[in-house]
Chain A
Amino acid sequence: MKKKRMSYARGRITGFGQKIGLKMKLTLLLLLVGFLNLMASESYSQMAKLTITLKDATVEQVLSDIEDKSDFNFVYNRDAIDLKRKVDVNYTDTKIDAILDDLFKHTNVTYRFIDRTVVLSTVLEPEFMLQSKTVSGKVTDSSGTPLPGVSVVVKGTTNGIITDADGNYTLTKVPLDATLVFSFVGMKSQEILVENQTSINIIMKEDTQAVDEIIVIGYGTTKRKDFTGSASSVKLENSPVALATNMNALETLKGNVSGLDIGYTNTAGGTPSMQIRGQNSISGSNDPLVVVDGTIFLGDINDINPNDIASVDVLKDATSAAAYGSRSANGVIMITTKKGKKGKPVIHFNITGSGQTWHLKPKLMNGEQWLDAVATANGYPDYSFLTSQEELNHQAGKEVHWLDEISRIGLIQDYQAAISGAGEKMNYYLSTAYTDNQGVIKGDDFDRISVLGKISTDITSWLQIGLDAAYTRLDYSGVSANIIAATILSPYGMMHRPNGLLEATPDGTRGHGNPLWGIDDKSKRENIDYQDNLRANAYALVKLPWVPGLSYRFNYAGNLNYRKAGDFTHESDYVPNGDYDDDSRYSAETQNSYLSSANGNITNERTKSYVVDNILNYNQNFGKHTIDLTAVATRDCKKYEYQNLSGSDFAANGNTTLGLNGLHYASTQKISLDNWKLTNAGYFGRASYSFDNKYYLTASYRRDGASVFGANKKWGNFGAIGAAWRITNESFMKKPEFLNDLKLKLSWGKNGNQGLSQYSTLSKVSNGQSGGIYYTFDNSGKPSYGIDQSSIGNSDLGWETTRAWNTGFESVWLNNRLFVDADIYFSKTDNQIFLRTIPVMIGFSSMYSSMGEVRNKGFEATVRNINIQNKEWKWSTGLTFWLNRNKLIHLYGEDLDGDGKEDDDIGNGLFIGESIHSIYGYKQDGIVQTSDTKYMESNGVSAGTPKYADKTGEGVIDADDRSILGSTDPNFKLNLSNTVQYRDFELYVMIAGVFGGNGYFQKSNKNAYITCGDRSQFASNGLYIPYWTESNPSNKYPAATFTGDSYFLGLQSRGYMRLQDITLSYTFNQPWVKNTGINKFRLFITGKNLATITNWKGGDPESGSTALDGTYPIMTSISLGLNISF
């Protein structure tokens, strides 16, 4: 057989041809067509017109020139086609088929189009006519090292093989029209049309976040290479990132996207906060807008099963977010869910089991330390404050570690099954999942059932329709342990009564409750909290047949959420304070006396929302010019209805046997209702233009109206413009070996934020029973209800407007091994809405108000390097870095003190030229020592109290000594991830760091300095404090008797570094796996939040919790799981 060489290896067709396989590009094109139906690619071959003038050129040069000037790629057999033939060509605005007809006029070469790929073949090639054949070849990585273990499969069949130790393969019975799929962990899968080839050598490429991916933008998609804005993408499907135990879709993004801050999750089923590029809004939500499969998502992020997510694109700058106008100043998170892939249906199972522990559990004082601390702090000469039962335990040396008692090893079980597939006309994805989470704190339970079905089908060549439907049930029911009680209680408290049952008040007559009281005990407390969510998205895509490239899309997304929550406290929940061995406290008689205190309430919440989009798109290529036009009219509406039914006092009824379902037997019954509606309407237009794969321009405009604003401020206009320049495509940039690609970009845009919740511009009134104001005249036994204005409205409140510049570059270096992206942005937000402290003489202490101008500037960089890549090993390192600086520029524009500078607003802690998160107060300068006599005398303080810096030098500490002490903003964030692959093993490690320094990232942590904490409870436990004494003076910790003063802050840095994720997986590629019909079989073990380095004391630096504030803990998780698909 004649040996044939294919031209793929040199298939430099566009600027990106080198980085990805030709067929990959094809696949992406197909994806575009199949997924998004916005690109009228079939028409490209009919529409594209080329201008080519070459003299005495070879056929090969002509083909190459066409490739350079268009999106066409040629696929051909070098040996069959005479490439060296010299020709003269001179075409002006000529269609491709005319050129090709002319070029091969007197040869046996024929051509056909597969999208933008032109397959050239000769009639002499006999293999072309055969039904099947044998194909062999060698697979190497980009360094030329043979790759063993690569799977080579005839697409849509089970016919496949694995490359041998030298990377060679031979596959028989390959149909002529077959496509071979080459796949390997960590590499991009490649699909190659077999056509007339019998030998196919493949260079596998890194599966990096390369520049040639498709990204989802507002009301459409684009190729990353054409994109002028700043966006980060995270592919979750088949990524090690997705293996980590994340209960929530957002958690998977944590640390993977520069500029995106994902908060912590500390409860079972909790939702973390999210923020892009710093805080834009002071009082409004800083949450980015979430868009799922192209439509604004108005539901709860917890309703999205993380396993159903294929990829996430984070739109960070103004141009990318501009499509969403009034709601995009905080950025946009675009979630794309999985869908079927062409070929045989895939059945996928994912099973994970995890254990969780309390990360950074505070170490509270032991018995001895507690005794000393309480006595010293409260001026007791002895331990006479011990209650009788504490005294018993003290004598017996029995201590209870309450934090240990309320916590447990948390457990997560996660099961998912999905079936997906696609045919020529139809695509489907069905998934169901069940998650059960028992949190680290006893009683903190959550489970979720979700079902998702997606189907799309081409009805005709011009009409495609799709429907997704999802149902989720969340269950948060149950009473959790009381963390605050556990931190307050004395180590000598009594857990159980003599009969072995739980004691209600472990510290006896001091009366603090047992933190475990009522947990899993429905005779005392009932708690339910269910949410049912049903959502359906439907779309129709019409490719208007009379204008190629023009399409219309209609989206409807409906969301219905129903929540029922209830809580019931039975009479047996109440126990009088007293000694633990006094059984009368628990007698039936005592319990019945509490019937009048028994109470419960049921909340019904119904949220109904819809989004309607009408999208008109026109996309066309004209030679080197590509135009994409989009017009959108959209509306959305969210309606909320709340009902609360409460009942108390069951004395007349006689028992509470029916519990929550017997509220209507209560003597006092109340109803409270709250309804609201939020509406938005928007009109949007966008034009994108690119020329010759070098120059890209995008401009957009949106007019948006929102119900939340004052009557005259409802509408806003937003716009953006962006440009990019692929400098490496310029002929003058003779591509240097070390630089593979470089794109420069610049954008400007104006976006809005709805910094208000509904009805905030109104002066609301509290009245009637639900208003809570009542007085009882005349001992009538009946309340008279009062009317009180509860807020002062401001009808001038409108959009918060953010104008932002973004500039940056995306680049690929060193033979596609080093990827460097960087962005710098400058944004200014006008008319920030915030809750302003106002002179209380008005009758209100605060009101929503807008203020001048806040600027954010920042720098973001993502660096990824492939350190090692050879036959067996692969190691890559990624680094994300971001910092944001916030500065207040203008406030109210007043200079009343006449110093020529705009005035600060000290009352609201806002200072011109400083961060809006500045910490203002008295600078602490150690502790007053016995030798500081002058300081003590002039300030009337005693030794052992905090000492403050005397800024004015007057000797007396007063309001003039206040200064800006720092900021609560982080200095910068740095995340480091490493992925190491060895044969079938893959290890992923992510270290996340948030850094302070220079005054950044500080927070008050009084509980780390004051003995027994903030002293709101007598004899409270707390962190052990090596407090100041005369004989053992400290310059850090005040005396035990110090209870705080209005100056003391106890600032501490929250900076930390955390080993956030470790994932180790093993993929079984042994023959028996294939033989049993398993497509993929992978076992993995993951760890989350395994270790933290920080100086923050008593809590978690990420949540900023302190020892006594009762914040739920962040958890360390270890998971074991398996993926299997058929």
Chain B
Amino acid sequence: MLFLAGCDDDGFLKENPETFYTIDNVFSTSEQVDQVITTCYQKVRNIFCPYDNSSELNVWSYSMGNGTDIFDVPTIRYSYRFNDYSIINPENAVFYATYSAFYYLINSANTALYAADKENITWNSEKEKAYIVAQARFFRAFAYRNLGELFGGVPLVTEMTTTPRYDYTRSTRMETYQFAIDEMEAILNDLPETTAEAGRLVRAVAQHNLCQLYIDKGVLLESEGGDAVSAYNKAVSYANEIVDGGIYRLMTDRFGTRKDENPEFYYASTVAEQTADHTYSSAGYPIEGNVYWDLFQVGNQDYQSENNEAIWCAESDYEVYKSDGKKVCLDYPGIYGPVFRDQGSANITGTREDVGGYGMCQITPTAYTRDLIYEDKWADDMRNSEAVFHRIFLGNVKSSEYYGKQIPWDVLYRTNGTGKGTDAAYTLLYPMSCKIAPDFYSQAADGKNLRNIFRDDYFIRLPETILLRAEAKMRLGDNSGAASDINMLRSRAKCGYLVTASDVNVDLILDERARELIYEESRWNTLLRMGGTVAVDRIKKYSYWDYPRNTLNTSFNLWPIPQTVIDTNKDVDLEQNEGW
């Protein structure tokens, strides 16, 4: 017909995307394979340092351990509670979000391996390819370690998937651990001992993970029957390679960007009032800096900046935050910061540095975290010093009788005649760690509110390796070895009390981890990998609210397989974990 005669219909109908790539045409250089590895770094960062409190609260609950013995929620955040087992079930979004996040990471790692195998990619060197492949395999193994600790045996997906499957089967928890162990061991030599590029993986990262994996394997072998001892020995030897390898050592002297400074706050609720005569020092409450405080000052986290206990860090950057967005900040003041302006507002208010910036208190430390682990002989500890765990708050409301003076905690807690604090006050107001709330915010000059910090964040710091070694030694029965490992940390922290072999047990390990690694470790992994009823017992014992004590009437040492995963994997019935 007219105007159409001879037209090429097939050519007319062909889809030819002009402005985006597809998986089939994106890869042509080794640089692009490395960009998939960059995606893996970003995904790990998102899991452990979520940047957005509104869309990622589910991950927040996982990452630092909301609902464990160390964190609970304040009155105003009931709806985020993660220890009320009348509402926690396999349909809870925290489980699905966490489970998914690790499989998204696995998929990116598998995609990198697929791309690295493509024939059209030219490599600058074999070494370049080996490092890229090693990073990809590390991230995959890392995801399986976490999945194994949290969910037990999970389906092992080792290739990029192009067509969906509905017949995944669960491996055993042992197979999951073993896969991670085999992969990590296979790539050890392809990871460099050190790197010039801060944030990149080094060999000690895999060694640290192997140490933890062998402990996990040993704990499992103990319950299932097997040679747990050689597993623990492997754990110790991997830890030894890091602790005694000469590359890493605990920082014992002041160092870094602020090594000649002390922390300083203004008791002032507005910028205008932040004048020299409103400093804590001038009011007679000077704070002395120390090496532990240095560890958490901006610019001091990377091994490349002479921090010898930094093994692996999540990188933050304010310039990149301004140019590209939130994914490179730490929202710690916002999520973990107290809210003085609510319950304390008669005496102390505002959103400036002295109250922890613009805290929203999504998650609150339990009594265990803030007080119990520092009671009596445990009190004398650099990690409990005013610089590190800020407990002295000066009134900044002019009409307050405490203006410029320390407000007693029973006033802040609004304690009644029987000595019991008000729930709202107790859960919204608490001592403030320098890990989540600094005395200086880089973005303040740009008028931004003080709810983010732009500091690199530790994924692995040497003390955690030391605590893993202590744990492995304890499990081997070497309590004195464990005690001396723990005392490495306590000595560095100039603690008044050093532990003895007889102090060593699981609780001590967990207490010391809380003292050293609060706001750093992923407490859910720690508790669940301990096996037995450790997690359940401690949750019931230390939670602020009574929910778990009233509602946790089953026992579990694994999270449930998310109901959505069971429902969608329609061809094979994935068995639910015990207790759910």
Contacts and interface: CB of A to CB of B under 8 A. Distances in A.
Interface of A: 377-381, 384-385, 387-388, 508-509, 511, 554, 571, 574, 576-578, 582, 584, 590-591, 593-597, 612, 614, 616, 633, 635, 637, 648-649, 651, 667-668, 673-677, 679-681, 705-708, 714, 758-759, 761-765, 767, 769, 772-789, 792-794, 837-845, 847, 849, 892, 894, 896, 903, 905-908, 939-942, 945, 958-959, 1014-1016, 1018-1019, 1041, 1043-1047
Given A509-B349, A584-B272, A896-B570, 6 more contacts: A614-B2, A759-B15, A763-B22, A786-B37, A842-B107, A896-B571
Contacts of B45: 775
B38 A775 contact: yes
Interface string B1-43: 1111001011011111111111110100000100111111110
B315 A776 contact: yes
Contacts of A675: 18-19
B325 interface: yes
Q: Which of B20, B90, B316, B320 has the most CB of A within 10 A?
A: B20
A786 B446 CA distance: 28
A787 B79 contact: no
17 contacts: A378-B424, A578-B269, A578-B351, A681-B7, A681-B9, A705-B10, A708-B15, A773-B39, A778-B196, A778-B199, A778-B315, A783-B324, A788-B111, A840-B99, A840-B103, A841-B168, A907-B568
Contacts of B16: 677
Contacts of A1019: 76
B125 interface: no
A779 to B, nearest CB: 6
Contacts of A574: 447
Contact of B424 (A380, A674, A762): A380
Most chain B Cβ neighbours within 10 Å, of A590, A844, A892: A844
Contact of A839 (B19, B79, B92, B165): B165
B38 A384 contact: no
Nearest to B580: A958
A837 B570 CA distance: 11
Given A785-B35, A789-B111, A554 B565 contact: no
Contact of A674 (B19, B324, B343): B19
Contacts of A794: 163
B177 interface: no
B535 interface: no
Contacts of B550: 940, 942
Contacts of A761: 15
Interface of B: 1-4, 7, 9-10, 12-24, 26, 32, 35-42, 45, 54, 75-79, 81, 85-87, 89-93, 96, 99-100, 103-104, 106-108, 110-111, 154-155, 157, 160-166, 168, 196-200, 269-272, 299, 302, 304, 315-317, 319-320, 322-325, 327-328, 341-343, 345, 349-351, 358, 414, 422-425, 445-449, 456, 550-553, 563-571
B345 A388 contact: yes
Contacts of A894: 570-571
Nearest to B12: A679
Nearest to A508: B341
B17 A379 contact: no
B78 to A, nearest CB: 5
A980 B342 CA distance: 63
A593 B9 CA distance: 59
Contact of B19 (A387, A577, A673, A1046): A673
Nearest to B345: A388
A907 B564 contact: yes
A849 to B, nearest CB: 8
B78 A1015 contact: yes
B26 A940 contact: no
B197 A777 contact: yes
Contacts of B87: 1044-1047
A765 B198 contact: no
Contact of B351 (A509, A776, A782, A939): A509
Nearest to B397: A388
A614 B164 contact: no
B567 A907 contact: yes
Contacts of B160: 843
B395 to A, nearest CB: 15
Contacts of A680: 13
Pick the 4 closest A-B CB pairs, nearest first: A843-B107, A940-B551, A907-B567, A786-B39
Contact of B198 (A576, A633, A778, A896): A778
B19 A784 contact: no
Given A779-B317, A839-B569, A840-B100, A764 B2 contact: no
Contact of A767 (B35, B75, B163): B35
Contacts of A958: 89
B12 A635 contact: yes
Given A779-B456, A839-B569, A1046-B91, A787 B320 contact: no
A839 B1 contact: no
B13 A779 contact: no
A256 to B, nearest CB: 37
A380 B75 contact: yes
Contact of B320 (A782, A942, A1044, A1047): A782
Contact of B4 (A633, A769, A849): A633
A599 B154 CA distance: 45
Contacts of A509: 341, 349-351
Contacts of A839: 155, 164-166, 168, 565, 568-569
Most chain B beta-carbon neighbours within 10 Å: one of A649, A839, A1041? A839
A369 to B, nearest CB: 18
Contact of B41 (A508, A582, A758, A775): A775
A146 B192 CA distance: 104
A467 to B, nearest CB: 17
A707 B13 CA distance: 4
B23 A765 contact: yes
A908 B568 contact: yes
A344 B565 CA distance: 72
A789 B358 CA distance: 36
Given A778-B197, A787-B36, A845-B100, A635 B78 contact: no
Given A384-B424, A1041-B78, A762 B345 contact: no
Contacts of A769: 324
Contacts of A775: 38, 41-42, 45, 199, 315, 328
A847 B328 contact: no
Contact of B24 (A633, A674, A763, A782): A763
A774 B320 contact: yes
Contacts of B154: 841
B447 A590 contact: yes
Nearest to B110: A843
A138 B379 CA distance: 111
B79 A1044 contact: yes
Contacts of B14: 707
Given A380-B75, A907-B568, A789 B23 contact: yes
Contacts of A940: 85-86, 550-553
B108 to A, nearest CB: 6
A762 B15 contact: yes
Contact of A597 (B99, B328, B446): B446
Contact of B36 (A508, A590, A788): A788
A905 B570 contact: yes
B23 A668 contact: no
A836 to B, nearest CB: 8
Given A384-B342, A577-B358, A840-B103, A614 B15 contact: no
Contact of B563 (A942, A959, A1014): A959
Contacts of B37: 786
Contact of A907 (B32, B54, B85, B570): B570
A1049 B349 CA distance: 38
Interface centre among B96, B160, B568 (most CB of A within 10 A): B568
A905 B164 CA distance: 15
A696 B107 CA distance: 60
Contacts of A614: 1-4
